[in-house]
Amino acid sequence: MTNKNNYNIINLLIGRIGTNVADSLFYMAILWYFKTHFNSPMLLSVIFIAESSIDMFSFTLGPIIDRINIKKALKLVTITQAMLSVIIIPLFNNQKLHFLGITFLIVVYVLSTIGSTLIYPAEDKILPNIVEKKELPKVNGIFQMSYQTLDLFLNAGATILITFLSIKNT
């Protein structure tokens, strides 16, 4: 592998780890916000349904990924997710959020989740273009391990946190 390829691989891995951490923090923040401000199992269920539905239909993104410029898509989705995260900060500080604000938070969360669902296969598609064939299984394994490990611990942490804080009500 050339130094340029190593640089690209490292940047892609850092991007994947950053996206994964940001997704999990966003997930925790949304769950925490709805749990503490509304104590509504219905709203929490809507968030879980949105997350599960997007994951369930993620296979439909394959044809889109095959037709777009991956590098531009990764940059656009990452920038969009960052902007959405910054936009919703004032909503988290609003103690009396009305229906439109709640809807906006859920829509932003759904859009961010769709972006994340698009990023992971796009990264997997770009790997063969920047990694030599003999190194691909090793690099792909590193990427999958980082994704699965972080996802496991961060989402488990969010779930444990919400569950622990909800035991009294349960």
* Reported confidence tier of residue 166, pLDDT bands at 50, 70, 90: low
- 151's tokens: 């996802």
With beta carbons less than 8 A apart as the criterion, state whether 12 and 126 touch: yes
Residue by residue, what is the 3-state secondary structure of 10-43?
A: HHHHHHHHHHHHHHHHHHHHHHHHHHHHHCCHHH
- 169's tokens: 């009500």
Round to whole Å and give the CA distance between 141 and 116: 19
pLDDT, one tens digit per residue, over 69-122 is 888 888 888 888 888 888 887 777 776 767 777 788 888 888 888 888 888 888
Round to whole Å and give the CA distance between 72 and 151: 25
- 150's tokens: 């972080």
Phi, psi of 168 (to 5 degrees): -60, -45
> Taking the mean position of all CA atoms in its chain, how far away is CA 23?
3
pLDDT, one tens digit per residue, over 124-161 is 888 888 888 898 889 888 888 888 888 888 878 777 77
Helix, strand, coil percent values for the chain (each to nearest 5): 90, 0, 10
Using alpha carbons only, what angle is made at residue 61 by residues 77 and 103, rounded to the nearest 5 degrees? 60
